[in-house]
Structures are given as structure tokens and as C-alpha cells.
């Protein structure tokens, strides 16, 4: 008991850090203001009752309760950073899965007309895609799955899925600037370069397909479609089960915040833009 | 006394009488129960945010004594939920009283 008491946080800062350990920045920001306000009000009340500064602070912190129990309660409402990381993936199209799958499928199924039509709307699609996917995710696991199917369908229809993939790679570049050490930055930069090299390789392969005979091309594309389709399906299946745990929280987020706020949180676009600007 | 599971209903009841902020809600619950119901105030906010997420409450910010505070108010859906929970509590407490008074 004595040891337990000794380990209890004595200051509000320590208590708050303990209660929100493992949560994403957005969640911490959401609750910090309220807990701070609560603590200040309790502290002021205790001071007017005649308690000394230190005693009042300790009592105000103690009235908030066990930080671990609060953390357990908060976990039911807010996302941990791990869950947030998974959510970030919603807005990112998997590369090169989507690109290769889209390219080979549209060749097999001869969807040129659809492709031409979607080409004109591709920029619009890029703008609406993240909120749409988040909206689908907010409907729960089945909604998220429906969103993925729609997204995949669009990619298959639009050869210009390559642009989406480019945006995806570009989006990741923000992470390089967020790193702390030079070694870490170099590793991330190398990964980014490798990603771009793969992208370039796929582009070259894609453009060279016409050099193959029709029969060979047909076999090649079917193998490619199956070879990419199966791992992609497995990946999305795993994704589906992972998101089941987050779906309720996403719904709750959507109700508490405007779509724009949610997007700003999950994709950290603003943060990434600022970091990129400061880096350049 | 532990009020496990009853906190959401108590919050709804306090807010049925007007909008309020977290600290005042906590103090209201303690004062009205004349100190019988004890709870750790840190658990109040997850409960408030859950109720808000379910659409029973709405929140807004208001400046009070130079401090920006988040206030909560009951929605129509919250009122209906409160009536439902009150009815359920009446039934439950009546049944428990019957059993305990027989003993």
C-alpha cells in the first residue's frame, strides 16, 4: 500500500501523462483542456477552504482518481496512437498493389471507355476520396469494406490510379522531415527512394507490355492479376478485422468533430504541409 | 458507495436541469447524494464524451471568469434516454426493495 501511494502521481502533469499514455495527440488535446480546467477548479476550491498550495495540489490530483483506471475508460472513447496509425492507412492507397492490380485488370476487362471518363474526374476523385473512405469507415466494419470495394473498383476503372499512388508516395515524404536523428532520416529517405524506384519500374513495365505478343501478354496479365489480387485480398481481410476495433470510436469522432477536423487529424495533412514548408 | 454503471444516468439527470461543465456536474452529483455517492472525477470525462458520441449530449464552449470552459447540454434524444433509464431504475430498485424488506 505504501509503495502504491508512493508511486501515485503528485502533480497534475504527471497524472495526465499517466492517464493518457499511449493515446494519439488528438485524443490528448481533446481531453487535456477539460482535465486541466477540472484540476484548476478543484485546486482553487481547496485553496479557498484553507489548504496550502502543495496540499491542495495533491488533493486535487487525488480527486481525479487512479490514472490507470481513467486510461482504461478513455481507451473506450479515444484512439491510441497505434489505432491512429492504422487509421492513417485508410486514406493511403496501397502501392504497388493497387497500381498493378488496376493496370492489369483494366487491360483484361478492356475498360477503356470507363477509364477515359474517369480520367476527367480523377482530380475530383482525389479530393473526395479521403472523406468518402472515412465516411464509409464511420459506418462500421461493413461500411469500411464497402468503401474499399468502391475504391478498388475506381482504381480498376481508372488507369490513372498511378496518380493516386504518386500522391501516396508524396504524402509519405512528410514523415522524413518528422524524424529525430540523421540515421533515421536517411533510412526513411532510402525507403522513399526505393518506393519511387519501384514506382518507376512498374511504370516502365506497364509501358512495355505492348511489346509482348497478345497471347503472352494475356498470360502475363492474368498471372499478375492473380499474383497481386490474392495478397491484396489477404491484406484487406486483415485490415478489415483490425478496423473492427476502431469503427465505434471513428463513429464517435465523426459525431464530435467536423469531417475536416477528423481529416486534419488522421492524415495530418496540415502538419505535414507545415513541416514540408519549414524543411524547404 | 460505488456508483458503477449508474454514472451516465446521473449525468443525464444533472444536465436535465440545465447545461453545465464537468467540474460542476461532479460536484452536483456528490452534493445531491449528500456525500454517499463517491466517484473519482477523472472517470467523468470519458463518460461525458461517450454520451456525447451517442448523441445524448451536446457540447459548446463558453467563457466564464476569463476561462474557456466546455459546457454540456441534454439533447432530445438524451431526454428520452433519461426517461427510459429512470423507469428502469424504478423497476429495479422496487424489486430489490421488495426482496430486502421481506428478509
pLDDT tens column, A172-187: 433 434 444 556 656 6
Phi–psi pair at A274, nearest 5 degrees: -60, -45
A163 grid coordinates: 496518380
Contact call for A38 and B53, based on CB within 8 A: no
Picking from A66, A76, A256, the nearest residue to B46 by CB comes out as A76
Contact call for B53 and A251, based on CB within 8 A: yes
Q: Which of residues 60-99 of A touch B (CB under 8 A)?
A: 63-67, 69-70, 73-74, 76-78
- Burial per residue of B33-53, b for 16 or more beta-carbon CB atoms within 10 angstroms, e otherwise: eeeebebbbbbbbbbbbbbbb
Give the other-Cβ count within 10 Å of A66's Cβ. 18
Give the pLDDT confidence score for residue A111 in this predicted structure. 52
Q: How far apart are the first and last CA of chain A?
A: 55
Among the listed residues A4, A14, A3, the one whose alpha carbon sits nearest the alpha carbon of residue A58: A14
Q: What are the Cα distances from residue B80, in Å, to A193, B12, B75, B84, B90?
A: 57, 10, 9, 6, 16
Give the pLDDT confidence score for residue B38 in this predicted structure. 74
d(CA A41, CA A173): 44
Give the pLDDT confidence score for residue B34 in this predicted structure. 80
Query: What pTM does this model have?
Result: 0.56
Confidence band (pLDDT; 50, 70, 90) for B50? confident
Average pLDDT over residues B32-37: 79
Confidence band (pLDDT; 50, 70, 90) for A52? confident
Instruction: Locate the DSSP E strands across chain A.
Output: none
Given phi > 0 = left and psi -120 to 50 = alpha, else beta, which region is A148? alpha
What does A68-116 look like in DSSP terms, one character per residue?
HHHHHHHHTTS-BHHHHHHHHGGGS--TTHHHHHHHHHHHHTT-HHHHH
Give the pLDDT confidence score for residue B52 in this predicted structure. 85
Give the pLDDT confidence score for residue B15 in this predicted structure. 94
More confident residue, A144 or A68: A68
| Contact of A19 with A74, CB cutoff 8 Å | yes
Shortest CA gap A43–chain B (Å): 11
Question: Which residue matches cell numbers 511504370?
Answer: A203
Instruction: Please state the three-class secondary structure of B18-55 as a single string.
Output: CCEEHHHHHHHHHHHCCCCCCCCHHHHHHHHHHHHHCC
Q: Is the pLDDT of residue B17 over 80?
A: yes
More confident residue, A40 or A120: A40
Q: Is the pLDDT of residue B27 over 80?
A: yes
B21 touches chain A (CB under 8 A): yes
Picking from A30, A70, A77, the nearest residue to B42 by CB comes out as A70
Give the other-Cβ count within 10 Å of A217's Cβ. 15
Residues of A in contact with B69 (CB under 8 A): 37
Contact call for B52 and A256, based on CB within 8 A: yes
Contact call for A256 and B49, based on CB within 8 A: yes
Q: Which of residues 68-97 of B touch A (CB under 8 A)?
A: 68-70
Per DSSP, the three-state class of B5 is: coil
Amino acid at each position: 500500500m505504501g509503495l502504491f501511494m508512493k508511486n501515485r502521481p503528485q502533480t497534475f502533469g504527471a497524472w495526465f501523462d499517466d492517464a493518457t499514455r499511449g493515446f494519439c495527440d488528438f485524443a490528448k488535446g481533446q481531453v487535456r483542456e477539460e482535465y486541466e480546467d477540472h484540476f484548476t477548479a478543484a485546486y482553487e476550491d481547496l485553496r479557498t477552504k484553507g489548504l496550502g498550495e502543495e496540499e491542495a495540489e495533491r488533493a486535487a490530483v487525488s480527486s481525479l482518481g487512479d490514472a490507470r483506471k481513467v486510461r482504461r475508460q478513455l481507451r473506450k472513447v479515444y484512439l491510441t496512437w497505434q489505432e491512429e496509425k492504422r487509421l492513417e492507412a485508410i486514406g493511403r492507397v496501397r502501392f504497388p498493389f493497387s497500381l498493378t492490380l488496376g493496370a492489369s485488370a483494366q487491360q483484361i476487362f478492356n475498360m477503356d471507355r470507363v477509364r477515359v471518363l474517369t480520367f476527367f474526374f480523377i482530380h475530383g476523385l482525389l479530393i473526395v476520396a479521403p472523406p468518402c473512405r472515412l465516411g464509409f469507415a464511420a459506418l462500421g466494419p461493413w461500411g469500411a469494406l464497402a468503401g474499399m470495394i468502391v475504391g478498388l473498383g475506381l482504381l480498376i476503372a481508372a488507369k490513372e490510379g498511378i496518380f493516386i499512388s504518386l500522391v501516396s508516395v508524396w504524402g509519405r515524404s512528410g514523415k522524413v522531415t518528422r524524424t529525430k536523428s540523421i540515421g533515421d532520416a536517411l533510412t526513411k529517405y532510402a525507403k522513399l527512394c526505393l518506393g519511387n524506384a519501384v514506382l518507376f519500374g512498374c511504370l516502365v513495365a506497364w509501358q512495355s507490355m505492348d511489346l509482348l505478343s497478345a497471347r503472352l501478354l494475356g498470360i502475363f496479365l492474368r498471372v499478375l492479376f492473380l499474383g497481386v489480387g490474392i495478397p491484396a485480398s489477404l491484406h484487406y481481410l486483415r485490415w478489415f478485422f483490425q478496423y473492427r476495433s476502431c469503427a465505434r470510436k471513428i463513429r464517435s469522432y465523426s459525431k464530435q468533430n467536423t469531417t475536416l477536423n477528423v481529416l486534419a487529424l488522421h492524415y495530418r495533412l496540415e502538419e505535414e504541409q507545415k513541416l514540408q514548408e519549414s524543411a524547404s | 458507495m460505488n456508483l458503477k454503471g449508474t454514472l451516465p444516468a446521473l449525468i443525464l439527470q444533472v444536465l436535465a436541469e440545465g447545461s453545465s461543465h464537468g467540474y460542476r456536474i461532479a460536484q452536483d452529483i456528490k452534493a445531491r447524494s449528500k456525500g454517499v455517492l463517491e466517484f473519482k472525477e477523472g472517470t467523468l470525462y470519458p463518460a461525458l464524451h461517450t454520451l456525447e458520441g451517442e448523441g445524448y449530449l451536446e457540447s459548446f464552449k463558453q467563457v466564464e471568469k476569463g476561462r474557456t470552459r466546455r459546457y454540456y447540454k441534454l439533447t432530445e434524444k438524451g431526454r428520452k434516454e433519461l426517461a427510459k433509464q429512470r423507469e428502469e431504475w424504478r423497476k429495479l430498485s422496487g424489486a430489490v426493495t421488495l426482496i430486502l424488506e421481506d428478509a
